[in-house]
């Protein structure tokens, strides 16, 4: 999905760390709701890693779509119920999780459209196809993306970028706390990385 190798590796590393965090939380958290949330987030991290690598981005699209659609409904239901039902998260955080899971389902569905090659332009098309070689960017690959896919992708990118920035601000605030309280910065930092990674992938889809 992402042709820039540096960005691809960076996203892979970020989501691998996030996956590890949620697996540790799965092991440590005792509540059913928290465990389900950790599993869903870990699966999301794995799917994002797959999406970053062109050779694996088409892996099991139907099960992935169904999984993330159900996950979106799960978090939406928790948000509707209210309270701090999942790892201490309130309604706003749960809505964010629901939107991320819905965004994952959308990405899996539209990925074939987002990666569709643009129509050949005749004699000049060959030169364009080879321009830049392996350094061709995701924007180049998605030059033929339908307008509605681009519009949704850009809208999701804005939402995830804003959410990721908000999570980052929360992490920085927690990081300035004294002593052991600084550990509270880890969870919002992971949330920020996941949301900003979603923003990058949404831009690539557009």
pLDDT tens digit sequence for 140-149: 444 568 888 8
Residue 12 in contact with residue 64, Cβ under 8 Å?
A: no
- In percent, the amount of the chain with pLDDT more than 70 equals 79
pLDDT reading at 86 higher than 90: no
Alpha-carbon span 49 to 91, nearest angstrom: 27
Say which residue, 55 or 194, is predicted with more confidence: 194
pLDDT band at residue 180 using 50, 70 and 90 as cut-offs: low
State the maximum Cα–Cα separation within the chain, in Å, rounded to a whole number. 65
Tell me which of 24 and 122 has the higher pLDDT: 24
Of 197, 202, 206, the C-alpha closest to 14 is 197
Q: What would the mean pLDDT of 183-206 be, rounded to a whole number?
A: 91
pLDDT number for residue 125: 43
Average per-residue pLDDT for the chain: 82
Could you give the CA distance from residue 27 to residue 12 in angstroms, rounded to a whole number?
22
Given this model, what pLDDT does residue 184 score?
83
Please give the model's pTM, rounded to 2 decimal places.
0.80
- Asked whether residue 134 carries a pLDDT value surpassing 80, the answer given is no
pLDDT band at 136 (very low <50, low <70, confident <90, very high): very low
Q: Where on the phi/psi map is residue 16: left (φ > 0), alpha (ψ -120 to 50), or beta? A: alpha
Q: How far apart are CA 191 and CA 184, in angstroms?
A: 12
Phi, psi dihedral angles at 83 (to 5 degrees): 80, -175
pLDDT reported for residue 129: 44
């Amino acid at each position: 999905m992402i042709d820039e190798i540096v960005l691809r590796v960076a996203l892979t590393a970020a989501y691998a760390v996030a996956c590890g965090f949620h697996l540790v939380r799965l092991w440590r958290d005792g509540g059913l709701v928290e465990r389900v949330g950790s599993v869903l987030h870990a699966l999301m991290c794995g799917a994002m890693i797959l999406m970053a690598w062109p050779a694996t981005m088409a892996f099991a699209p139907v099960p992935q779509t169904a999984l993330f659609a159900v996950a979106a409904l799960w978090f939406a239901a928790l948000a509707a119920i209210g309270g701090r039902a999942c790892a201490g998260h309130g309604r706003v955080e749960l809505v964010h999780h629901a939107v991320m899971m819905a965004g994952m389902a959308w990405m899996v569905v539209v990925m074939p459209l987002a990666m569709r090659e643009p129509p050949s332009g005749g004699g000049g098309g060959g030169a364009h196809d080879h321009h830049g070689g392996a350094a061709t960017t995701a924007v180049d690959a998605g030059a033929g993306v339908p307008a509605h896919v681009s519009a949704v992708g850009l809208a999701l990118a804005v939402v995830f970028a804003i959410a990721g920035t908000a999570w980052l601000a929360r992490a920085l605030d927690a990081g300035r706390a004294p002593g052991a309280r600084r550990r509270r910065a880890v969870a919002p930092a992971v949330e920020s990385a996941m949301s900003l990674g979603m923003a990058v992938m949404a831009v690539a889809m557009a």
